Each structure stands twice: as structure tokens, then as C-alpha cells.
């Protein structure tokens, strides 16, 4: 893949100009951050694994009618995606108390919630992504009511699908983050799922042991981050044999040495 003009660099990914108008190349980095980049580090092979995991989930969601920006995976670290106008709202879907919800409300981590909760956060690292309400979204015009209805409906559909997907492989979906974007057809736009879905933005616990298989291992200094991401990929059938895990990462390392 010929390197193209860089459009944007975030904490975990880089976006490059795509080969056709209306497309982008999404590159997955090994960089890891927490607490709005106050803690930084690297998880070896994370970008490779997140690329594969996100591809698998986005492709699966498309089969149930959830529109996404994903077009196809290009190589170990890159995807071809549709260019979207990102809605400046992070959507967090919670099934079990954890993270900031436990801290804010004093609910013991791991407590099953009586019902799924959808929370909204304004995308602004400088402000630490503050929690917002529907009234803020409407007042400042970040999204229309119809768009928010579509976002909430899709978030619930994604949650229902992913709960089943992960339960089938012995993983409890605690919570996860989604981002959405607009695509335009003339004067009209519609909302589609964007960004990624991976252990970077999901809390995933083993159903039997409650072992954390996500970025909380980095946030909380537990260690074993790469092994946790590999375990999620292995259970999803993306790394069928244990020996293949090191082979995938060795191949990516070889590619980078060759400058590809």
C-alpha cells in the first residue's frame, strides 16, 4: 500500500487519504493511552489484533443490517473505510457497573445493572470528554433528534448482538464505546457506525474467572495486556491455534522491517 497524505492522527489510529474519493485508510497503532492520554505506553501487536477484531465485529454487524463505515481490511494494520462526518459524541453502552459509573454512583464494580444504560460524552480531550445529556446535544446542535433516535436504536442493536457474540465464547460484555458519523447523499445525510470496536473500547471479562481481557489491564497496571487481546482474538476464531498468535505478530514485525 503506497503511503498517502495523512488526514488525522488520534491516540490509537491514523487516518490517511483513501484511494478513491469518500474513502480513508485507517491505520491501527500499538500506542496505548488511558485517562485522556495522561498515561501512555505501548501494547505489542495491539494494532494488528484490533484491526482483525474490529473487522470481524463490523462485518458481523453488517449482516444484521447495521450500517458501518467499514469497507474491507487491507493488510495487518490497515482498513479501507468510508469517510464520514463524525458526530462529536461518544456513546457508552453499559450492562454492568464498572469504571466511571462505579466511581460516580458508588456501585460495586461487577454489579449487573437492572437495565442497559446509554450515556453520552462530548468528544473533547481538553475537557476530559464530559458527560452530557440529550438537552446539551439539542441545544448545541451536535445532532438532530432524528439522528439521536437512530444512534440510540443502533447502540441497542449492537449491544444485543455483541452480548450474544461474546457470551458464546465465554466473555461477559461489561460496557463499550461507540462512535457514529454522517454520510451524505446530496442534501440528505444518514448516520452510520464508525471508528472501531475492539478491546480498546470494550470491557470484556471472562465469564468464569472475571479476568479482564481489555485495556483495563493497562489502565490499572495489571500487565498481560497483549495476552488478553490475543485471548479475545483466539476465542473469536481469528487466531485459531495458540502458536499462530506469535506468528501473526512476527509477520507484522517482518512487514515493518521491510517498510511495507
Print pLDDT tens along the chain (260 aa). 566 899 999 999 999 999 999 999 999 999 998 877 678 899 999 999 999 999 999 999 999 999 999 999 999 999 999 999 999 999 999 999 999 999 999 999 999 999 999 999 999 989 999 999 999 999 999 999 999 999 999 999 999 999 999 999 999 999 999 999 999 988 899 999 999 999 999 999 999 999 999 999 999 999 999 999 999 999 999 986 554 445 455 545 544 544 44
Model-wide pTM > 0.85: yes
C-alpha 20/C-alpha 32 separation (Å) is 30
Architecture of domain 6-84+226-258: 2-Layer Sandwich (3.30)
With CA atoms as reference, report the closest residue to 249 among 29, 76, 28.
Answer: 76
Domain segments of the chain as ranges? 6-84+226-258, 85-206
With CA atoms as reference, report the closest residue to 61 among 170, 145, 163.
Answer: 163
Output the CA–CA distances (angstroms, integers) from residue 166 to 160, 163, 191, 205, in the order listed.
10, 5, 25, 10
Which CATH number is 85-206 given?
Answer: 3.30.470.20
Output the CA–CA distances (angstroms, integers) from residue 250 to 44, 52, 55, 162, in the order listed.
11, 15, 20, 30
Amino acid at each position: 500500500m503506497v503511503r498517502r497524505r495523512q488526514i488525522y492522527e488520534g491516540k490509537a489510529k491514523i487516518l490517511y487519504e483513501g484511494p478513491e474519493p469518500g474513502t480513508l485508510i485507517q491505520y491501527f497503532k500499538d500506542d496505548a493511552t488511558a485517562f485522556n492520554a495522561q498515561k501512555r505506553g505501548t501494547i505489542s501487536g495491539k494494532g494488528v489484533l484490533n484491526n482483525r477484531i474490529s473487522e470481524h465485529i463490523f462485518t458481523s454487524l453488517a449482516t444484521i443490517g447495521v450500517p458501518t463505515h467499514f469497507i474491507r481490511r487491507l493488510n495487518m494494520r490497515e482498513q479501507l473505510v468510508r469517510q464520514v462526518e463524525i458526530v462529536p459524541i461518544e456513546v457508552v453502552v453499559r450492562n454492568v457497573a464498572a469504571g466511571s459509573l462505579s466511581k460516580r454512583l458508588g456501585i460495586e464494580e461487577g454489579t449487573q445493572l437492572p437495565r442497559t444504560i446509554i450515556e453520552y460524552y462530548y468528544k473533547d480531550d481538553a475537557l476530559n470528554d464530559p458527560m452530557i445529556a440529550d438537552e446539551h446535544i439539542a441545544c448545541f446542535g451536535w445532532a438532530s433528534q432524528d439522528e439521536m433516535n437512530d444512534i440510540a436504536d443502533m447502540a441497542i442493536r449492537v449491544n444485543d448482538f455483541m452480548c450474544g457474540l461474546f457470551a458464546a465464547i465465554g466473555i461477559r460484555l461489561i460496557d463499550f464505546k461507540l462512535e457514529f458519523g454522517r454520510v451524505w447523499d446530496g442534501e440528505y445525510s444518514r448516520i452510520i457506525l464508525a471508528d472501531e470496536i475492539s478491546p480498546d473500547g470494550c470491557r470484556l471479562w471472562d465469564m468464569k474467572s472475571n479476568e479482564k481481557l481489555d485495556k483495563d489491564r493497562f489502565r490499572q497496571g495489571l500487565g498481560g495486556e497483549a495476552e488478553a487481546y490475543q485471548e479475545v482474538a483466539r476465542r473469536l476464531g481469528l487466531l485459531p491455534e495458540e502458536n499462530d498468535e506469535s506468528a501473526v505478530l512476527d509477520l507484522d514485525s517482518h512487514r515493518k522491517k521491510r517498510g511495507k
